[in-house]
Amino acid sequence: MWCTVYQLYEDGQRLPPEIAQAHGAYGWLYMYSKVPGTGMPKNKAYLLPEPGAHPGIKDVIEPLSCCNLVAIDKGSMRLNGSRTYTQSFIRQAWICVPGERADAPR
């Protein structure tokens, strides 16, 4: 679905609301579950490029690993998860506000 995503953490630290709100990223939200050979499924979320984005750019923002989806107020959603670097997990969460952007190409 088309949405604007606001990242709530940077390097594992919670961002002040005014900073998070100022840096929304628009694109196509895609989430899937990968079933490993053993253990629990691993959910991953991506914000893919909007129409007209430069070729070769796969993700608008860094993907969210090991995530779960929680519905919240007024149709927006929160995705909780982490960014993965080597063997470390760095906390990350997204607020996703569905809907097309007014200036999006049609």
For 71, the enclosing helix (H) or strand (E) is strand 64-71
Mean pLDDT of 22-28: 91
pTM score:
0.79
Mean pLDDT of 19-30: 90
pLDDT of residue 77: 92
pLDDT of residue 24: 92
The number of beta carbons lying within 10 Å of the beta carbon of residue 79 is 20
User: Any idea where the domains of the chain sit in the sequence?
Assistant: 2-98
**Contact assessment for residue 86 and residue 101, using Cβ atoms and an 8 Å cutoff:** no
- Three-state SS for 56? coil
For the stretch 41-95, pLDDT in tens is: 788 888 888 655 543 467 788 888 888 888 788 889 999 988 866 667 788 999 9
pLDDT of residue 90: 85
Distance between CA atoms of 92 and 80, rounded to whole angstroms?
6
Higher local confidence (pLDDT), 57 or 5: 5
pLDDT of residue 54: 46
Distance between CA atoms of 21 and 18, rounded to whole angstroms?
5
